[in-house]
Amino acid sequence: MATVKKRGSSWYVQWKELSVTKDENGEVRREWKTRARSFPTERAAKTFGAEIEVSHARGETFVEKREQAVTTIGTIAKAYTIASVEAGSPLPTSRYRSSIIGSFMDFAGEDRAVTELSLSLLESYARALPSEGRKAATRHRKVLMAEQLWRWAHDRPERFPGVPVPRRYTGGSGEGDKLRAPPPVVAEGAATWADVDAMISKLRLPWHRRVAILIRYTGLRASQACGLGWRDVNLDNGTILARSAVRGAKKGKARTIPMHPALVSEMRAWGPAEGLLFPRRYKAPDGSKRLGPYRGDVLIKPFRRAWTLAKVPAFKWDVSELQEAEGERAKGSPSHAIRRCIRTELLRTGVEEAIVLHLVGQSQGHTASAYVPDNCPEQSPYWPRMLEAIKTIPDHRRLPSA
């Protein structure tokens, strides 16, 4: 029998439970214990009292739901990460998933029951995440991962009972209030492929043209391209390892880039395939000559001259004055204009922004980097999409002869 009473601003439910135990002599002892629970509303209290009455009417021992073994969000999150490893995903992928899901667990609570997963919970989670600037993309990605976790657990009812039917908050239903991925930021006034090709045709030295073609297909920074060695190039597999430990290059993790078939064909004719791609002779302290890489800034003057000779408007490749006027550090213009062209043109063709950022080595592309391990890039789920992105780059062999 359950009794519902109001005390102050709360509602209390009292009921008795029969406790059966054995003493030290083996005799069975039956003892009735009074228990109670408080609720904020009368409706919740009466619902709880009704559950007690039903259990007693059936001759069953009433057990509170909070005392039953329940599946928690933390449980399915750990299982989801382990499953990705067992499925053969690279270790960085599982670490990334664990990190991104950890944000959702911090908000919802690791011990929260999966039965509490709801659309309103996703909405509250989205509102709690930063949405300004580029963080909007991260916000969308985190909510999307929470939805994937929910759907994965629901598809395994025998393992995770009680998971509600998945609901989406990242679009798909046509409702205007759903969270959508922010559109990519496409630069205005960037050079086109035709502008870049015209500039390359005006470069005088063969090695300058080779560096420009390499940047055109890979998005490498000038210093990285100049410091590239043949050990970083695999023409058979069609990959390039862009290292960060190059003098003058931006610090950060190395990244593996797929090569365009036209670039592979071009580089096979460069040879010999040993040492640096673009070696320069330096004078050692003892007076002898030694080979070393060029600095990226040696390309500024010839590239500037080529842009001018190609009659490409200066606002497309010389943005240093504008940046300095706005208080920013000048980029590696004019070589940076080629990278800016790659980013802009790929985004315009519909390539996913995370893929583009990884290809050009932007710091915001760390998400894609987590998906593309250097030791086994072909195992990455991002790799096929990177190959498709590279294929959208037009062939440079339509260039007019220099």
From the first residue on, what is the mean pLDDT of each consecutive set of 10 residues in the chain (402 residues)?
A: 81 79 74 80 82 76 57 86 70 69 86 85 86 69 88 88 85 61 67 92 93 93 89 90 62 76 92 84 76 86 93 81 43 78 89 83 57 68 86 79 42
Residue 166's nearest CA partner among 102, 118, 100 is 118
For 98, 254, 276, the CA distances from 370, given in Å and listed in that order, are 12, 11, 28
Supply the pLDDT for residue 193: 92
Supply the pLDDT for residue 374: 64
Supply the pLDDT for residue 369: 55
- At 29, is the secondary structure helix, strand, or coil? strand
- At 234, is the secondary structure helix, strand, or coil? strand
Supply the pLDDT for residue 131: 66
Supply the pLDDT for residue 67: 44
Residue 138's nearest CA partner among 129, 147, 146 is 129
Q: Whats the size of the chain, residue-wise?
A: 402
What is the rounded CA–CA span in Å between residue 382 and residue 388?
Answer: 10
Q: In what order do the strands lie in the sheet with 28-39?
A: 2-7, 10-22, 28-39
Q: Is-contact 318 336, C-beta < 8 A?
A: no
What is the rounded CA–CA span in Å between residue 290 and residue 216?
Answer: 29
What is the rounded CA–CA span in Å between residue 242 and residue 221?
Answer: 9
What is the rounded CA–CA span in Å between residue 30 and residue 23?
Answer: 11
Supply the pLDDT for residue 51: 82
* CB neighbour class for 385 (10 Å; exposed up to 12, middle 13-18, buried from 19): middle
DSSP per position, 34-90:
EEEEEESSHHHHHHHHHHHHHHHHTTPPP--GGGS---BHHHHHHHHHHHHHHTT--
Supply the pLDDT for residue 367: 53
Supply the pLDDT for residue 322: 43
Supply the pLDDT for residue 292: 84
Supply the pLDDT for residue 248: 47
